[in-house]
Structures are given as structure tokens and as C-alpha cells.
């Protein structure tokens, strides 16, 4: 294994795996830190953690454990993947984990670059934009777990860590890899160890990737990985062998615990298409009134792609959190989705489309999926995946909250069945 990646959630990890696969690396996504060695044909390994919204101390411990395993697989470069909307609170976990990994690897000039231009996330003058809006006016200020109330990544990161935060601006980035290297050296001389780097386009990310050839540690969204495979290819280290992914027939069920704007649009489209849907309310989930087996039976009895969803608008989410507390309601809903997924797999479901990073983490852990094969792209940042819970193949899509167009559920169903791959 050449490149060792640590993702702070499951959908984000598949987003990264998708980018690396598209750039020609053989990639496997692992759920949690594996207990056995990886297949030697894997060139990039992504260890998916569910560490975005847990206490910082635990996130650090899990990330360091992942680092040790990746080192033992022979990796020479490491990437810490977090959300392209920099999902974190003033306490962390991005700063604390990045700092701990930097210390463990004795790494300097650690790039911090959440940019993902393909999904509209760009960084200019240290500020993160979602399409034409500053992060804190993009809807992310209403996120149920980590409301993002400041678009200045330098300022937000500085709240999370004592390590000095620096900045490489667009002036250097637009002049290419050598100028980026020189600007990183300058920031290093000024004492900065975590360095926010501007990026507006995939071309910028390719140049940043070239500048980071051989860097022990980098951090960011999936975009920061774009230029890395080429560094390995130039050294003759990639096999060039493609993926052997195959689609899966049978029933398709959509599980959505995401309350993000894009997901709510996809749920609205499902409703407009008059497809079957079952709503999980926060009240019913917390009261333990819903039987996962009954919900799975209902889903398996539908003729066409049913949706089980808890997705709700910000006012409803806020009301539920005020009544029950943020953690208890999130845990109740996540556990319910995990139990529904287990019952669906036991009933022979072929394809599962899951919306939301935390929700996907709960489902993948609930199904005890230890590794996922990466298939074709469904939408930017969302690949088809395949696993074998209890020996039989199941195709999965793990969609980040704000990814995918309005028709994502139908598109995912088709790609997971083996039709219409888009990349
Ligand atoms: N109706 C609801 N009321 C309160 N909390 C909810 C409700 N529905 C879901 N949740 C919780 O909100 C959180 C949504 O997070 P999740 O990561 O799954 O989606 P997301 O934030 O849209 O996706 P991503 O992290 O990929 O951007 C989960 O913990 C989920 O259990
Ligand atoms: O970077 C992103 O936006 C996604 O991969 C993600 O992590 C959202 O949960």
C-alpha cells in the first residue's frame, strides 16, 4: 500500500476512494481499523472512522490507531480526510486530529484544504464557499451536529488547536506547483505548521498535489487527493489495473437520516414521483415505538424503490433536539437505521442507498462490513460500493448529505444494479 488515508466519516471516505479510483489507483475502503493485513494489491487504503462528531480525545486515539495500521501496510504518505464543508465544532475534531497526526509523523507544512470544486466548495483568501455563498450562509449554519457559523477556515481551525495556522493564498496557487512549494516553505519559516491553502479549481488541486509529492501528511476534502496518484504513477509504482466491480440485482431500499438541503430535495423528488415512503419521526424513534423488522418487511413488500426517512427541516430538527437533547435523538435514529439495514440484508435486499454520513456510518457498522470495493461514480463524490455481509453481495451507495442532484436515489439505484455508470 502506498497511500494511507484516514476518513472521519463513511460517506466522506467513499468520496475520497472515488477520487483516487478515478485517478487510477486500486483502492479499498475499510470500516474502522482492520485487524488483519490488507490484500497486497491495494495501492490506496481508506480507513473510514466515525470520528467526526465524537469527543476529540477519542477521535485522536482512533486516528492514531488507523495511522499505525496504515504504516504497517507500508504506506509512505498519509491523508486525513474531513468534510469539504469543514464540519467541526470550535473544539474539533479537525484541528486536534491533524495536530496529533502531524506530531506522530513529525510532519511540517501540513496542508489544510477542504476544497471540492466539483461539488461547489472552493477556498479563496482562507474563506470557504459553497457555490456562490460563504459557508456560514450556505445552509451549513443549520447543521444538526456541527453548525458552521464562520467561513474563515484559518480562524475556525485556530479555535481548535494550539498549532500555528498559516495560509497560502490564491496568488501562489495560481502560479503552480513550484510557487506553492515556495509559499509553503515561507509559511513554515514563519512557524506555521497547519497551512490553509486556497483552491478554486481542479487544476489548482492538481498543482497542489504535485507540490505535495513526498509530503508525509496532508489534510482536506477529497479534492486534495486528486494530484497524488500522478506522483506515484510517475515513479512507476501503480499497476494500472482497473476495478472488477459488478452490479447487484434484487430489491433496492433507500434509507435517509440526512437533514441536509440536498437530501431534503431528493426526498421531495421521491414524494413527487409518488414512490413509497415511510417517515421515522424523532418522537417515535426516541420513544422506541418503531419495530425495525416491521419497517424492513414493509420496505421489502413494495414494488418500487421505497424510502425510509427521518429527514426533516431545520425547525423540526431543532425542536426535537430541544426536547430530547442532540445526542439522544441522533443515537436513537441512527440505531434504528442500523437495525432496519440488518433486517433488510437478512431479508435479501440487493441494493441499499444511504443518505447522510453519520447515518451511513451507523448502517455500515450495524452490518459489520469490514471492507468495501469501490465501483463507478454515481454523482460527484458518491461512488457505487459493494460488500458481502453474510456471504451474499450487496451494492451500496453512501451519500454525503449535500451531494447528488434531485434524482440521486433513482440514479444510484440504476448504477448499483449495473446500469448506466457515469464514470
Ligand atoms: N428528524 C430528525 N431530528 C433530529 N435529528 C435527526 C433527524 N433525522 C436525522 N437526525 C440526525 O441528524 C444527523 C444527520 O447526520 P448525517 O451525517 O447522517 O447527515 P448529514 O449531516 O446530512 O450528512 P453529511 O454528514 O454527510 O453531511 C444524524 O445523527 C441523524 O440521526
Ligand atoms: O467532503 C465532503 O463534502 C464529503 O465527502 C463529506 O465528508 C460529507 O460528509
Domain boundaries along the sequence of the chain: 3-234, 252-417
Region 42-47 average pLDDT:
96
Cβ density class 345-379: b for 16+ within 10 Å, e for less: beeebbbbbbbbbbbbbbbbbbbebbbbbbbbbbb
Please report the pLDDT score of residue 22 as a whole number.
Answer: 93
pLDDT band for 419, please (50, 70, 90 cuts): confident
pLDDT exceeds cutoff 70 at 368? yes
CATH of 3-234, one of 3.30.565.10, 3.60.21.10, 3.40.50.10840, 3.30.2130.10: 3.40.50.10840
Tens of pLDDT, residues 342-361: 999 999 999 999 999 999 99
pLDDT band for 242, please (50, 70, 90 cuts): low
Tens of pLDDT, residues 395-416: 999 999 989 999 999 999 999 9
Ligand 1 atom with the shortest distance to the CA of 334: 31
Region 171-188 average pLDDT:
98
Q: How far does residue 153's CA lie from ligand 2's centre (Å)?
A: 16
Q: How far does residue 116's CA lie from ligand 2's centre (Å)?
A: 9
**Ligand 1: which of 49, 259, 283 to mutate, judged by most atoms within 8 Å of the beta carbon?**
259
Question: Among all ligands shown, which has an atom nearest to the Cα of 362?
Answer: 1
Question: Could you give the percent of the chain with pLDDT greater than 70?
Answer: 99
The pTM is what? Answer: 0.91
Question: Among all ligands shown, which has an atom nearest to the Cα of 359?
Answer: 1
Region 379-398 average pLDDT:
93
Q: Spelled out in words, what is the top-level CATH class assigned to the domain 252-417?
A: alpha beta
Interface pTM, i.e. ipTM = 0.96
- In short, whether 12's Cβ falls inside 6 Å of ligand 2 is yes
Please report the pLDDT score of residue 423 as a whole number.
Answer: 46
For the chain, the average pLDDT equals 95
Region 317-321 average pLDDT:
95
Amino acid at each position: 500500500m502506498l497511500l494511507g488515508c484516514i476518513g472521519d466519516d463513511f460517506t466522506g471516505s467513499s468520496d475520497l476512494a472515488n477520487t483516487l479510483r478515478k485517478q487510477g489507483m486500486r483502492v479499498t475502503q475499510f470500516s474502522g481499523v482492520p485487524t488483519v493485513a490488507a490484500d497486497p494489491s491495494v495501492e490506496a487504503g481508506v480507513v473510514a472512522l466515525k470520528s467526526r462528531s465524537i469527543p476529540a480525545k477519542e477521535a485522536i486515539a482512533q486516528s492514531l490507531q488507523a495511522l499505525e495500521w496504515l504504516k504497517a501496510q507500508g504506506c509512505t504518505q498519509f491523508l486525513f480526510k474531513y468534510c469539504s464543508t469543514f464540519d467541526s465544532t470550535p473544539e474539533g475534531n479537525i484541528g486536534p486530529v491533524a495536530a496529533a497526526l502531524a506530531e506522530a509523523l513529525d510532519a511540517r507544512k501540513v496542508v489544510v484544504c477542504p476544497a471540492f470544486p466539483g461539488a461547489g466548495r472552493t477556498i479563496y483568501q482562507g474563506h470557504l464557499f459553497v457555490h456562490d455563498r460563504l459557508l456560514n450562509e450556505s445552509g451549513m449554519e443549520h447543521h444538526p451536529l456541527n453548525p458552521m457559523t464562520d467561513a474563515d477556515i484559518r480562524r475556525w481551525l485556530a479555535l481548535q488547536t494550539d498549532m500555528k495556522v498559516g495560509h497560502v493564498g490564491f496568488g501562489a496557487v495560481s502560479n503552480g506547483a513550484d510557487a506553492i512549494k515556495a509559499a509553503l516553505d515561507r509559511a513554515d519559516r514563519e512557524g506555521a505548521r497547519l497551512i490553509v491553502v486556497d483552491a478554486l479549481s481542479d487544476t489548482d488541486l492538481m498543482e497542489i498535489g504535485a507540490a505535495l509529492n513526498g509530503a508525509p501528511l496532508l489534510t482536506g476534502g477529497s479534492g486534495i487527493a486528486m494530484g497524488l496518484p500522478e506522483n506515484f504513477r510517475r515513479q512507476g509504482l501503480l499497476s494500472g489495473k482497473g476495478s472488477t466491480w459488478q452490479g447487484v440485482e434484487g430489491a433496492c431500499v433507500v434509507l435517509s437520516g440526512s437533514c441536509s438541503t440536498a437530501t431534503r430535495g431528493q426526498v421531495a423528488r421521491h414524494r413527487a414521483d409518488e414512490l413509497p415512503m415511510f417517515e421515522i419521526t424523532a418522537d417515535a424513534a426516541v420513544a422506541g415505538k418503531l419495530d425495525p423488522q416491521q419497517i424492513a418487511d414493509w420496505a421489502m413488500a413494495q414494488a418500487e424503490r421505497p424510502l425510509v426517512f427521518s429527514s426533516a427541516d431545520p425547525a423540526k430538527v431543532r425542536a426535537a433536539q430541544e426536547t430530547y437533547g442532540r445526542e439522544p435523538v441522533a443515537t436513537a435514529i441512527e440505531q434504528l437505521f442500523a437495525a432496519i439495514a440488518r433486517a433488510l440484508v437478512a431479508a435479501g435486499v440487493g441494493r441499499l442507498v444511504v443518505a447522510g454520513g453519520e447515518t451511513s456510518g451507523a448502517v455500515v457498522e450495524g452490518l459489520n462490513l469490514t471492507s468495501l470495493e469501490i465501483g463507478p461514480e454515481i454523482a460527484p463524490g458518491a461512488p457505487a460500493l459493494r460488500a458481502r455481509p453474510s456471504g451474499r453481495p450487496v451494492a451500496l451507495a453512501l451519500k454525503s448529505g449535500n451531494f447528488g442532484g434531485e434524482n440521486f436515489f433513482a440514479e444510484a439505484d440504476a448504477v448499483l444494479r449495473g446500469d448506466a455508470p457515469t464514470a
